[in-house]
Amino acid sequence: MLRALCLPLFVVATLTGIGSASAKDSTPPPAPTSAVAPEVAKALASAEKRRLPVLVEFRAPWCYSCYYMARHVHTGIEWNELKRRAVVVEIDADSPEGAEQMKAWGIKPLPSYVVLDPQGRELGRVLGEQKRDAFYARMETFLAPGARLDELRDLAAAGGKKGRDAAEAALMAFHSRGAAEDGLRWFYDLPGRVRRAYEPDAGLEYRLARLRLMEAAQTRQGPTCSAVAPKVFAQAGCELPYELQVYEACVGEASPDTLMREQRAPLEQLVDKQVFGDASSRCADERSAVLILADLYRKLDDSEARTKLLDMAIVNLRGRLADDLGRDRSAADNLRVYIEQAQHWDDYDKLMPRLIATWPNDYVYPYRFGKSLLERERASEALPYLERAAARAYGENRLRVAELRVKALKRLGRQDDARAVAAEALKTNGPWFPDLAKSLKAEL
């Protein structure tokens, strides 16, 4: 799917409670047999022979967080070692098989990393961009012996430092699956003496608060979200933008309430230190911090602060890229988004052909540029870019590109061509994606 953001879709997963498992029988079932893509089935067969786990990476060509992970995390000694300790397989979310598998496993944000044992039972998952150390620390937790939830329960029930770490690993696993109620029940089913010893721990307190906020959001309990959120916000760090989205979705305020207004200063501090600051202290997902703060400024009717923020972000990235768009695709894509958000259309129209030339085999940038031109009532200029995107699109995006081509052709008075484009796309990909097919038919 072509979306502006990857990880903030975590909110969708949070509010739907994807991946919930019974706390009494907390070992997840094997991956759904009917949904296992051929490459995953092959990986599981290899893993069983070699007695290794499987790491399934869900990604897509439009996913800026995926670009970040490929350049900054999936490299070097640690990545090579991980590939020796696990069978690694990639799933393209845009393919029909990938879309089916994501639905069966409850995958929403991208990238998502799911670790399975050789029998296909889930050991854990990691969502979105991660700093290098954090990603490999999480992987180590999943790859170590005793990583299943029932085994973590036994460790946690025994108490002590190992028990505390096992409890935190389990709570993080439940959070990653969107299984808030089950995670809280899992924790409070621990022996009372051990649980009471864990509760003052600041790290576990934060993990529990995130689960409580998630649970309240999933059940639309606005007052509970308001009561729990301050504890989460106070410790969230780089996760603050995502937790703010969870809170807003829960309380459903059209304009920021008092608690949201109070997050302006913490968000500004986060952006100042961990987006514009030294590289070693930056958040993995810089874009979400900038865009969530920009959106808060918009809701507060502070257009001056919003403009200043986006302009600073643009200048910052231009300096880091040094006019080399191929240096870091995640940063280059962030630059595109900030320029688009700031509506600097002259700069945008100069940047997009360069991005297309830098990654000529992708449909993503021709699609985005064609869409923007069409939205700005420049159909004749948009059409060649959309046709270029159509030649490279596949899966559900073939239908998305086709819908825009139909719109452009209709505005140019080419009704017969529009019908032909729609018919071809519907024949090829319509059966796989009925909702998109319905939307395309409606456009005609």
20-60 per-position pLDDT tens digit: 333 334 444 445 544 577 888 898 999 889 989 999 999 98
**pLDDT value for 436:** 81
Q: Which one-letter DSSP state was computed for residue 359?
A: S
What residues have CB less than 8 Å from 74, skipping those under 6 apart? none
Q: Report, as an integer, the average pLDDT of 390-406.
A: 91
Q: How far is it, in rounded angstroms, from Cα 27 to Cα 81?
A: 27
Say which amino acid occupies 151: E
How confident is the model over 182-221, as pLDDT tens digits? 999 999 999 999 999 999 999 999 999 999 999 999 999 9
Q: Are 167 and 161 in contact (CB under 8 A)?
A: no
- C-alpha to C-alpha distances, 273 to 74, 267, 278, 282, nearest whole angstrom: 25, 10, 7, 7
| pLDDT surpassing 90 at residue 353 | yes
Compute the Cα dihedral for 92, 98, 101, 107 and give only its sign.
positive
Question: What's residue 443's pLDDT?
Answer: 80
Yes or no: say if 167 and 204 are a contact pair by the CB < 8 Å rule: yes
pTM of the model: 0.84
Paired strand residues for 88 = 55
CA 390 vs. chain centroid, Å, equals: 25
User: What are the pLDDT digits (tens) for 278-334?
Assistant: 888 888 899 999 999 999 999 999 999 999 999 999 999 999 999 999 999 999 999
